[in-house]
Structure 1
Amino acid sequence: MKSAIFEKVGDIQIEDIDMPKIQAPDDVIIRVVRTCVCGSDLWAYRGLTEKPEHSENGGHEAIGVIEEVGSDISTFIPGDFIIAPFTHGCGHCAACLAGFEGDCQNHTDNFSSGIQSEYIRYQHANWSLIKIPGKPEDYSDDMIKSLLALSDVMPTGYHAARVANVSAGDTAVVVGDGAVGLCGVIAAKMRGAKRIIAMSRHEDRQKLALEFGATDIIAERGDEAIAKIMELTDGAGADAVLECVGTELSTETALKAARPGATIGRVGLPQNPNMDMTSTFYNNNIIGGGPASVTTYVKGGLLDAVLSGEINPGKVFTKSFSLDEIEDAYEAMDKREAIKSLIVM
């Protein structure tokens, strides 16, 4: 089968590799229908994080059809159309029961990788996979895109809003205009925010943020951005802040944008290991976040919201490619020619 391989910095190739096999009783084999490139995949592609040359690629988002199930699988059968969350919770440990399966306490292999492939082995599938009614051919291309968004970016944006405790009537600031940040705008609106300030310097992303529910756009960065936020909030700052990037600048912006007592939800993979927390102490700010609770949120309402047309997160996919065009898909995101690159199998 074909699979994307990380050759070296700036070079993703397609190779023929062996088909995956059932290795554990709770495994399933999935034929991938759609996958994509995540912003976090770009860290290694750009050389910002270390990754061994000629190694499994890091893609982790997919929808597909189950081909084979392990002996312990009781909730799915071959032929089921499913969302494959990038987190693999067990559903019954303390973390999963609290709705934080991104930190499942029973699985050490709790995250997907190598998903930019024709077929994948998915571990711990019994609880974590989500069944989609019907078959892929029952859905429009636009709906398929939104279903794929439920494997990561939409639940991750929702996680930022949940952890930030966005509530009815709040002013929320969303730091980051990638797919996760844009889905954070959707989530803030779903949770009742009255004012949603999206931070973006790119016209196409600004337009989508406004379509998703943003009330204000701030294109400035750094201290100029904070001054704009304070102007819009009469000097108070935001009730909730969604940090959806992970860089030092985005984290600093999120901390400064929050009013005293506000909560900051962080879902951007942190790139700054040393963070001064002094300001958060004196402002009584609450900081939380981490890997998203994909299964919890999708089963808890996001799938229904997509199927009913209430939300359309698939609009973050602005360019489509075949698996053979994987290098082009990465380049399009690296050059900001695409918000998120879709891979059609």
Structure 2
Amino acid sequence: MRVADVPDARITAPTDALVRVLLAGVCGSDLWMYRKMAPSERGFRMGHEFVGVVEEVGAEVTAVRPGQVVLAPFRWSDGTCEFCRAGLPTSCSNGGSWGGALDGGQGEAVRVPLADGTLVPVPVGPGDPRLVPVLALADVLCTGHHAARAARVGPGAAVAVIGDGAVGLCAVLAAARLGAERITVVGAHEDRLELARRFGATEVLKARGDAAARRLLELSEGRGYHAVLECVGTGTALRTALEAARPGGAVGYVGVPQDGEGVDVRTFFRRNVTLAGGITPARTYIPELLPDVLSGGVDPSPVFDRVVGLDELPEGYAAMDRREAVKTLVDLRR
């Protein structure tokens, strides 16, 4: 990981906006590339979570204007294609992802394609402390919400959350917001499990794999959970989730898949367990969740437990890789 100069971001199409970044986040999914990408002279521009100020807009942009604070979800989309209209902007016919050959969110400025369909104006100033929890809407808070929605969490539900990373912790917030009565979190780190309790978990369990599945069944008196939120992305985590779901229950699957090793489809076939989820349509969820974040009714900001400037970003990645930080916040206002 290195910080380098690249050509300045600039508008190249009438539907573009130029955004000066205020805050950016490092996602757990960024770590997969951090760990696995081969050394490269050119490198790959990183970052898909950012809030910033609009500096310039193209001639056809009408939804945002210069000087506005805006939030960018982790993919850009036109907001008008058949998939966007169906609530799946992550499958937009004309959309795409930040980074790579394009500008990444972990930089000073970003050219935002299809600005009208992508950017969300936020009615706060650049120095407002609420921008930190707003940043979580770019990805992790919406992803936790997607898991809860996919697993049909509602009032009175018994919910198990697999994973104590930022997404798992945000899934606790989401389940509590939707009225879950019981929330059991499976994780591996005492400090994160304590934060899960602060977010609304009623029980925490330090275990993994078969031991975690057995303990979840014991805690549910053998019945299993109405909803299980898989927030890791490994075959082990998915197996645990499927084993812990009760007959007729549901698994919300949002961990970025790394492997599916050992997952037996008969596990959920025999008990009529629904498996739903996938990549999160964050742009669809933001209007629903933003008012609660701005009011303080939902506060995911504690997941950002390491703050760095742009020049310190390599250490921010290293801290997350060493499990010394849940989620690194990059503050370009410093």
TM category (shorter chain) comes to: over 0.9
Paired residues of 2:69 and 2:125 also in contact (CA < 8 A): yes
Paired residues of 2:235 and 2:260 also in contact (CA < 8 A): no
Q: Distance in 1 between matches of 2:13 and 2:255?
A: 32
Q: Percent identity?
A: 43
Q: Which residue of 2 aligns with 1:7?
A: none
Give the stretch that moved more between structures: 250-259 or 109-118. Answer: 109-118
Q: Which residue of 1 aligns with 2:124?
A: 134
Given candidates 41, 56, 64, the residue that maps to 2:52 is 64
Q: Which residue of 2 aligns with 1:39?
A: 28
Write the deviation string for residues 19-61 of structure 1: whole angstroms up to 9, x where unpaired.
01212222111100000211001012112x6685532233100
Change (3 A) 1:60 1:198: same
Paired residues of 1:102 and 1:290 also in contact (CA < 8 A): no
Q: Distance in 2 between matches of 1:276 and 1:20?
A: 47
Q: Distance in 1 between matches of 2:57 and 2:260?
A: 40
* Structure 2: gaps spanning 5 or more residues: none
Does residue 14 of structure 1 match 2:15?
no
Write the deviation string for residues 50-100 of structure 1: whole angstroms up to 9, x where unpaired.
685532233100000011111221111111100111122322333222322
Q: Distance in 2 between matches of 1:267 and 1:171?
A: 19
The structural deviation recorded for 1:167 is 1.2
Q: Secondary structure at the match of 1:40?
A: helix
Q: Residues 1-345 of structure 1 correspond to what in structure 2 (within 5 A)?
A: 12-47=1-36, 54-104=42-92, 106-107=93-94, 109-113=95-99, 114-137=104-127, 139-140=128-129, 143-272=130-259, 275-300=263-288, 302-345=289-332
The structural deviation recorded for 1:284 is 1.1
The structural deviation recorded for 1:187 is 0.3
Aligned-partner residue type, residue 15 of structure 1: A
* Structure 1: gaps spanning 5 or more residues: 1-11
Q: Which residue of 2 aligns with 1:3?
A: none
The structural deviation recorded for 1:308 is 0.7
Give the stretch that moved more between structures: 269-278 or 219-228. Answer: 269-278
Change (3 A) 1:42 1:206: same
Q: Distance in 2 between matches of 1:78 and 1:51?
A: 38
For normalisation by structure 2, the TM-score amounts to 0.94
